[in-house]
Amino acid sequence: MTLRPYAATAAVAALLLSPVVTAPAQAVPPLNVVIDDATEPTTRAFDITLVKLRSAPDTRRPAVVLVTHGRMVRPGDSIDVWFDLDGDKVPDLHVSGDAFSEFTVHKTHSFTKDGKDISDQDVARLSMARFHSKIRLFPSKVGSPLSFSVVVKSSRSDKPARTDDWAPSTRKFSRPVLAAPLT
Ligand SMILES: [Ca+2]
Ligand SMILES: [Ca+2]
């Protein structure tokens, strides 16, 4: 492309006048992301009402996904959390567990089929008590990603799949949160 001298001068002037020192807003993900979910006591078996993502306070401590439920946790309640660690909207890690029981951690590339079981590597932990399911993720054990996003599903094995609750929505990842402080 060739520019006439006047057009070229105008283009340079426009560049000089524009606030080029301002960094793009999406450069650094936020420290916290909050997902408000609908309160659905009659249609969801184990209703999710809120999900909070929190960056790790330092590189040795975990980032946290705190899921708030519409009622207290009971035996038979289940939680699944998929993490996207590289921003391609495809899951990389799947944490799955049942209340008052054990949880598993798998590598994965889909919402339907798990890959390698890495439960013994202490990459993530799940605890479920009172109104919360709490997932801790240790970013340094999953390659220290810049950010992560999640999909959360709650369910009960004795209830049909249509009573599952997904946040932010079915197989759709949340906005990313910073994984750990930038060094
Ligand atoms: Ca809900
Ligand atoms: Ca991914």
H/E stretch holding 42? none
| φ, ψ dihedrals at 120, nearest 5° | -85, 5
H or E stretch including 109?
none
Ligand sitting nearest the alpha carbon of 166: 1
pTM of the entire predicted model: 0.85
Q: Which ligand is nearest to the CA of 152?
A: 1
CA of 82 to the centre of ligand 2 (A): 10
**Which numbered ligand comes closest to the C-alpha of 107?**
2
- Evaluate whether 153 touches 88 at the Cβ level (below 8 Å): no
* Distance from the alpha carbon of residue 81 to the mean position of ligand 2, in angstroms: 13
DSSP label at residue 16: H
Pairing between strand 77-84 and 93-98?
Answer: antiparallel
pLDDT tens, position by position, for the chain (183 residues)?
Answer: 455 555 555 555 555 555 555 555 557 999 999 999 999 999 999 999 999 999 999 989 999 999 999 999 999 999 999 999 999 999 999 999 999 999 999 999 999 999 999 999 999 999 999 999 999 999 999 999 999 999 999 999 999 999 999 999 999 999 999 999 987
pLDDT value at residue 183: 74
CA of 104 from ligand 2 middle (Å) equals 19
Per the CB < 8 A criterion, the answer to whether 97 and 103 are in contact is: yes
Could you tell me if 176 and 147 are in contact, meaning their C-beta atoms sit under 8 angstroms apart?
yes
C-alpha dist (Å) from residue 134 to 7, 40, 131: 58, 20, 10
